[in-house]
Structure 1
Amino acid sequence: MPSNLLVQPPADGVRLITLHRPQALNALSTELLAELATELDAAERDEHTRAVIITGSRKAFAAGADVNEMAERDLVGILNDPRVSHWQRIAAFSKPLIAAVNGYALGGGCELVMCADIVIAGSDARFGQPEINLGIIPGAGGTQRLLRAVGKPLAMQMVLSGEAIDARHALQAGLVSEVTEPELTVERALQVARAIAAKAPLAVRLAKEALLKAQDTDLATGLRFERHAFTLLAGTADRNEGIRAFQEKRPARFLGQ
């Protein structure tokens, strides 16, 4: 069992993972990242898991990397940092990933948020990349994903000044999809996740991949992938079930086939 996570098994197709290092504001230690990557690997393989939510506490989603752990590493330790592979596994998760964020999401916490596909933020959430204050820069995708999410001017301001932004600013900038009251953040994320989990799993996975293609490739390449995915889904049992359910005015029963 993980020691830095609280994991609820899938219910209605949704697995809830809670970061749980309250003594350190959920700072992302190597051990926590390894546990999270392992849980996501398990969710990837589990046919009963159709969406995953990651959340933290009311005070902090994750306040950053574990600075005390960082202080113990020399150059060799940094060059051979095992966290790199953990981050790669987290970023490669192919099922829908939702972040439910209250409080601080700083440094690695903000980078973890940006690995999610959908971000529901409490009105008290704060997002930032304060690494510059330690004489370093973001090292888990912070410079790359932040610029793609919020644009060059705001990304430059956040990374170079180390200043955080609040939830409303994050919503306006496109870093989060929705802002709610802090006590409702997880419940709203569960509502969204359950709605996604009720959809055809193959279509959801390919839709996510197609949207990511739009972010990472040129338009022509993205359109080719979209058309290919559309054609593949046309031959699935879920597509036939979806059409029949619509015609018969009943909820569809998707089986992932």
Structure 2
Amino acid sequence: MPSDLFSKWLEPGSPSGTGIDYFVEKNNGQKIGLDLLKPLMADHFVGEATVLKLGGYEKASAVIKNSLPTNKRTQSGDLGELLATEYVNSQTEFTVPIKKLKWKSDRQMPMHGNDVLGLNYTSNPRRILKCECKSRNQFGDSAVTEASNGLDGFDGRPNPSTLAFITKRLFEENRDDEAKMWSELQTKDPLPSKNLTQMVFALGGNDPTPSLAKCPKAKVKGIQRQHAAIRLSAYADFMKAVYTVDGK
């Protein structure tokens, strides 16, 4: 489903590396980005249904604020994961089934497991995406190395515990048909490598594409590897503003 993030706030940039989906902010686009992201932050960290049950955004402001990390490193990583989820859902063939940040037990800690998993619900056999997100004010080669190593774990396939986590949350939300699809990924023979796609998603205050261009191929033959990136023109200021609730 198309997202206003990638039409009203962002526009395609000119990547330094080939084959990289690269976005930059439009001129004077920071306010537009913040306006679009504020309700998405509440949805990803709390959930739209919970906000509505609390009586709307104003009455839910304390719960929203207490769900958002104040640790700068966690803020950076969580925003990268949020944007990666929105990117996958709107710009690729895959669908991320849940907004898993709302299940964080401690707002200051990153979640364990794969950052983002997506599934092509219409392909037969299924196609699955495994994505690692990295967010840095100064994005460099070390971030790409970390992401690449994470993608190569579990023979390049999704972390079984993350698959189980998604399955349980879908059943809890009475999305049983979807839950069974994710359950089958754990009980049937492993998907062939050609049906697996890996992605490094980068969020940076500088252009991440030169480093992404150096990213090695997947260790397991046949697994595709893709790259996507967003550059924020004022990374630190944007990070502070997007995590501000009611001016505080």
TM-score normalised to the size of structure 2? 0.32
Relative contact order higher in (CA < 8 Å, ≥ 6 apart): 2
The higher radius of gyration belongs to 1
Greater helix content: 1
TM-score normalised to the size of structure 1? 0.31
